[in-house]
Amino acid sequence: MTDAVTNTVNHIDPSASTTNTPLLQTKALTRHFKVGGSLSRKTLHAVDDANIIIDRQEIVALAGESGSGKSTIARLLARVYKPTSGEIYYQGRPLSQLRRRRDQLAYRSDVPMVFQDPFSSLNPAFRVSHGIMRGLKLHRKDISRANRYDEAERVLDAVGLTPASDILNRYPYELSGGQRQRIGFAQALAYKPKLILADEPVSMLDVSIRIGLLNVMADLRASQGVSFLYITHDIASARYVADRLIVMYAGHIVESGPTEVVLSNAKHPYTRLLLSAVPDPRAPLAIDAETDKGEPPKVIDPAPGCRFRWRCPLVVEECHHVTPVLRTLGIRHAAACHVARPDEG
Amino acid sequence: MPSAPILEVRDLRVEYASTRGPVGAVDGVDLDVHAGEFVGVVGESGCGKSTMLFAIAQLLSPPAEITGGRVLFNGNNLVTMTEKKLNVLRWRDFSVVMQSAMNALNPVKSIGAQFQDAIDAHNEHVARERPAEVMALVGIDPIHLKSYPHQLSGGMRQRAMIAMALLFTPDLVIMDEPTSALDVVAQRSLMVQIKQLQRDLGFAVIFVTHDMSLVSHFSDQLVVMYAGQVVEIGPTRQVFDTPQHPYSRGLLDAFPSIVGPKTKLTGIPGSPPDLGSPPAGCRFHPRCPQVFSDCRVVEPDLYEVGSAKARCLLHTELAATATARTAESETR
């Protein structure tokens, strides 16, 4: 566990404006899905025991392959799914105790989501202004009806869409993929959020415009004080924007730490595999480097043991029987691996 | 590299009919592919790279139409060939792997039955073991010939598509972003596999992608397309090390690296032009960081720069005179 976990338990205080309470924290967050027919008793372990901390104005990247459970975490945080067990604390308050509708709405406006596919996440029948103005109407009671339009222009400016008044009157089909995804961010921004859950926001876009959106995220963090949970399978882009990196494999968090530390000193063999897969013309390559043909397992009714053991080059006997837990192996750096060794000294 | 190319594309032009008049999606593309060569084609969405592939494979349907040029494949011009003759060549001599394997496979037929379809269509004598053989080639257990597409993961479906493309050991395999639906690890292992197969079986590959970094270690020749034209073409390593067109340089600087110092990147500002009315002069000039006055007027040709070619006026004497002029008046 990172040392941050041990010194932050202050969730009794509901005012929670204290600075040492993380913005959002999960404890042993778990989500299982029932699979198979109605008589089936199989459960798919999408996320098991995830402990995540996101601080104010922090960009945290959550990386992993398809099926690793990263999107499930985003949906749990967005309250699309209810956790099977475990708890999410927002500014120190457990989410399961948000009973009043007003509190629930407040949480949703504080923690909006940006979706992967900008081509299907905008309603094609409405102008761009529609989505943004609706968000303002629902979640921003502080803005009078007369001022809503100005606010909508402001958020479009903030994500780099100019001239804002022109864009507001357009339909989604009149915009490029990159512009649409900026609209996604603008809609989230209209809520005056504290944390934006960005689920693979750039993976559908051309490489040449991805960087623009990553820059938008960095700018919003600086100018609006928003935190981001950036979900991606592209480690290079995580390195570009994120302060901290969490790597998931088959429902488990396998490594976490400051991005640069994790990348320069990856402890978990899976993190190393991800790193070696990044296509980078600036990095040297041996084409005949052994290819990994594995895929993340579907974690149905798992027995104890490391879930990476079938693909792992370093597997030892222990891996087959004991599920590794996150151990601190360096400064703020933790990995769940029996073989990984702590930093020297 | 063997001497005669197996595919010679000369001055290929494709137009889409639209209410505002014809839109030139591919504008005078020349391309040679030699036997056993891996050619990467990169560019942003809407630059005409997929249209070019479809034109080469003669798969275009209205409103798109080939309005000029030749596609010589093993000496035969595919453009003027009848559909009947094309059907003989297709899949036997050249095959196509489509972008999303998710949708390219028939969901209600087993993989094996779809292989059989291709075999039946050609009345070709194929050994009974051939489907199992090609499945093994791409690293899937032949037991999956009995599986239906939904029982396979995305990576396996894409591999199965490639296996199908190799049924008749074609001379040329055309691939349209075959890895774009996969995540990095699967993408990487698929690329390595394609490269190994290509080395072992000796077919040529045209590989289209918007991710320049993906082909960096795999292709022999790299073609950079912009607004329907080839803007740079040359040996892959050379284009990566010394890009001669500002657009290639922009594409290269558009993605972050996992090595080296962290620097702020800008990508390429703006978006590709409307091909219905492309900008005058160089088509890249509205987005070009190194634009000078002649770029707005003079349409550049492909100029030889070392063993590469670049469609940029910086490689003509116009650039020298322009720099001299700007040096007098202002600094860019």
pLDDT tens digits, B202-257: 889 999 988 888 888 888 899 999 988 899 999 988 888 888 888 988 888 887 87
Instruction: Test A287 with B193 for CB contact under 8 angstroms.
Output: no
| ipTM higher than threshold 0.85 | no
Is the CB of A337 inside 8 Å of chain B's CB atoms?
no
**Cα separation of A226 and B30, whole Å?**
49
List the Cα angle A338/A339/A340 in 5-degree steps. 100
Whether A244 and B248 have beta carbons less than 8 Å apart is answered as: no
Whether A160 and A176 have beta carbons less than 8 Å apart is answered as: no
pLDDT digits (tens, 9 = 90+) for B43-72: 887 788 888 888 888 888 888 888 888 888
Nearest to B93 by CA among B106, B104, B81: B81
> What Å distances lie between residue B311 and A140, B71, B224, B230, B315, CA to CA?
52, 22, 10, 7, 8
Nearest to B254 among A207, A291, A293 (CB): A207
Q: How confident is the model at residue B328 (pLDDT cuts 50, 70, 90)?
A: low
Is the CB of B235 inside 8 Å of chain A's CB atoms?
no
Placement of tokens 């049924």 in the chain: B167
pLDDT (tens, 9 = 90+) of chain A, 345 residues, equals 444 444 433 333 444 445 678 899 999 999 998 876 677 778 888 899 999 999 999 999 999 887 788 889 999 999 988 999 999 999 988 988 888 888 888 898 899 999 888 888 888 899 999 989 988 988 888 888 888 999 999 999 888 887 888 889 889 888 888 888 889 999 999 988 999 999 888 887 877 788 888 988 999 999 889 999 999 888 888 999 999 999 999 889 999 999 999 998 899 999 988 888 777 766 665 544 555 556 667 678 888 888 888 888 888 899 888 999 999 988 889 999 998 888 775
Is the CB of B261 inside 8 Å of chain A's CB atoms?
no
Is the CB of B45 inside 8 Å of chain A's CB atoms?
yes
Nearest to A208 among B44, B184, B192 (CB): B44
What SS3 state is found at A29? strand
Placement of tokens 């892959």 in the chain: B236
CB pairs under 8 A between A and B: 123
Instruction: Test B258 with A263 for CB contact under 8 angstroms.
Output: yes
Nearest CA in chain B to A297: B153
Is the CB of B213 inside 8 Å of chain A's CB atoms?
yes
Whether B178 and A266 have beta carbons less than 8 Å apart is answered as: no
Nearest CA in chain B to A283: B259
Is the CB of B199 inside 8 Å of chain A's CB atoms?
no
Task: Give contacts of B271 with chain A, Cβ < 8 Å.
Answer: 176, 178, 209
Nearest CA in chain B to A298: B153
Task: Give contacts of A240 with chain B, Cβ < 8 Å.
Answer: 256, 262, 265
Q: Write the single-letter amino acid at B207.
A: F
Rg (chain A; Cα; Å): 21
Instruction: Test B258 with A275 for CB contact under 8 angstroms.
Output: yes
Nearest CA in chain B to A177: B45
Is the CB of A282 inside 8 Å of chain B's CB atoms?
yes
Nearest CA in chain A to B139: A293
What SS3 state is found at A334? strand
Task: Give contacts of A212 with chain B, Cβ < 8 Å.
Answer: 266-267, 269
**Cα separation of A141 and A157, whole Å?**
21
Nearest to B184 among A210, A278, A291 (CB): A278
**How many other CB atoms are found less than 10 A from the CB of residue B53?**
23
Task: Give contacts of A283 with chain B, Cβ < 8 Å.
Answer: 257-259
